[in-house]
Amino acid sequence: MKNKIAPFLISISAISSPAWADPEDYVKVPTVEYGERELEVKYGSSKFANDKGQFSTGTFGLGYGITPYWFTEAYMKYKKAPGERTHYDAFEWENKFQLTETGKYPVDIGLFIELEVPRDRNEGYEFRFGPLLQGEFDRVQVNANLFLKRQVGLASDSEPAVTEFHYQLQAKYRLMREFEFGVQAFGELGKWNHWEPREQQNHRIGPAIFGKIPLGGKEAMRYDAAWLVGASKAAPDSTLRFQFEYEF
């Protein structure tokens, strides 16, 4: 019994634990649209087994394609943990760099760098970075992102910071611009050079839908939603996540 509840107890004591992975997180792609501006809303809610409650996060963001190879976006993040009210949680700054010309090589490559500044500074600053990989096979698009995540500036009485290994996987079929479908998977394996036992890792996988709806001129609405189920004991039973972007 102790082994079964340990991942959940650990998640309560440390918000950076894999069990509390941000449910609104989405699969990043390496391509950059120069001059594109966007307003974005993301939301995700994870439900845990045995009535342990739901954990939800949401963000509101503004992004801009500064150069043909650099896109930056700032977010305000909100959180609701079991037994708590929804509250402002952190400021996030994402940066995406396109390293190869789209379609020139078998794999498009990008670099993702993120900084999170929490409301509670005792939690320290969070950095996440890693490569973004994308391949095209006729109408099928495949993405694989590998990230390292680390918190710095933790309170003196906190547990020592470690560098964690995360992944994002996605495959989708481009049926039409307005509607595409596929599958997404997210995972946190623990310390980058010494993974947690399988039962303490967090793996989620499930179906996803995507689309871009033109609104005239440069304006468009883009959506991305998925229903993920836990594929390991430490993962939530289910996670619903969606993302809406208004591009102009």
Domains and their CATH numbers in the chain: 2-247 (2.40.160.40)
Q: Answer whether 89's CB lies under 8 Å from 78's CB.
A: yes
- Asked whether residue 193 carries a pLDDT value surpassing 60, the answer given is yes
Query: Is 170's pLDDT higher than 80?
Result: yes
The pLDDT assigned to 154 comes to 75
Query: pLDDT at position 50, please?
Result: 74
- Mean confidence (pLDDT) of the chain: 90
pLDDT, tens digit, 9 for 90 and up, residues 211-238:
999 999 999 999 999 999 999 999 999 9
- The pLDDT score that the predictor gives to residue 149 is 97
pLDDT tens-digit series, residues 13-65: 333 344 457 999 999 999 999 999 999 999 999 998 777 789 999 999 999 99
Please give the DSSP secondary-structure letter assigned to residue 178.
Answer: T
Q: What are 93-106's pLDDT values in tens digits?
A: 999 999 999 999 99
Q: What is the pTM of this model?
A: 0.88
* Residue 12 pLDDT exceeds 60: no
Q: Would you state the torsion angle of the CA atoms of residues 133, 188, 96, 223, taken in this order, to the nearest 10 degrees?
A: 90
CA atoms within 13 A on the CB side of 75: 25
> 224 has which bridge partners?
210, 243
Q: How far apart are CA 83 and CA 135, in angstroms?
A: 43
Of the candidates 10, 26, 22, the one whose C-alpha atom is nearest the C-alpha of residue 79 is: 22
Element (H, E) at 107: strand 107-118
Q: What is the pLDDT of residue 15?
A: 34
- Which pLDDT does position 20 carry in this prediction? 59
User: CA nearest 90: which of 59, 112, 46, 64?
Assistant: 59
**Rounded distance, CA 56 to CA 181, Å?**
24
